[in-house]
């Protein structure tokens, strides 16, 4: 069992390494092959042909924060769906499919109440 576990993750590692080599190789090849003649105008930040105003470190609006907050909560919800999804089939084979389905429906409906609250409070409205 432990050997199979680590074997699985060595497969993952090999995939990650191949991906890194492909991306890294493309970047290195581009920097070797592409012509490179920088000048001041070319390296300026481009924004629709207008000269940029202000610095790059600008302040963003608070309404993004609430979306990040909602994302965090529903991300935690999604985490709990993974072990459930792995077990649905074996529970269904044991005749408990209805039970495990209803459990997840209850879980999601309780959290949907939070989404309903957010919509009713106008949090999701982009004014």
Partner 1 sequence: MNDWLTQAENWAFILIALPMVLGAWRSVTSRNVVHSVLFLVITLAASAALFLLLGAEFVAWSVVLVYIGAVIVLFLFGIMITRAPLGMETELSHSNQTKLGAALVSGALFALITVAVITGFGETEIVSNPTRTSEIGQSMFERFVIPFEVVSVVLLAALIGGIVLARRDPAEPGDSSSSLGGAQSAHVTAEGGEA
Task: Give contact residues for partner 1 (rule: CB under 8 A).
Answer: 1-2, 5-6, 9, 55-66, 68-73, 75-80, 82-87, 91, 99-100, 103, 106-108, 110-111, 113-114, 117-118, 121-123, 127
Handedness of CA 6, 9, 11, 14 (dihedral sign): negative
In whole angstroms, give the CA distance from residue 25 to residue 33.
Answer: 12
Instruction: Rank residues 30 and 68 by Cβ distance to partner 1 and give the closer one.
Output: 68
Handedness of CA 60, 65, 66, 72 (dihedral sign): positive
Instruction: Rank residues 2 and 38 by Cβ distance to partner 1 and give the closer one.
Output: 2
Q: Which two tokens stand for residue 52?
A: 């940029």
For the CB of residue 43, give the shortest distance to partner 1 in the complex, in Å: 18
For the CB of residue 30, give the shortest distance to partner 1 in the complex, in Å: 24
In whole angstroms, give the CA distance from residue 73 to residue 115.
Answer: 10
In whole angstroms, give the CA distance from residue 107 to residue 102.
Answer: 9
Instruction: Rank residues 29 and 76 by Cβ distance to partner 1 and give the closer one.
Output: 76
For the CB of residue 22, give the shortest distance to partner 1 in the complex, in Å: 20
């Amino acid at each position: 069992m432990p050997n199979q576990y680590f074997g699985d993750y060595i497969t993952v590692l090999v995939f990650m390494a191949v991906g890194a080599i492909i991306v890294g190789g493309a970047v290195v090849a581009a920097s070797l092959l592409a012509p490179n003649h920088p000048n001041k105008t070319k390296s300026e930040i481009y924004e629709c042909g207008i000269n940029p105003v202000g610095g790059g470190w600008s302040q963003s609006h608070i309404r993004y924060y609430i979306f990040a907050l909602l994302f965090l909560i529903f991300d935690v919800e999604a985490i709990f769906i993974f072990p459930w999804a792995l077990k649905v089939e074996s529970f269904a084979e044991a005749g408990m499919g209805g039970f495990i389905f209803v459990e997840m429906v209850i879980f999601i409906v309780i959290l949907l109440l939070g989404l309903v609250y957010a919509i009713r409070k106008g949090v999701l409205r982009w004014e």
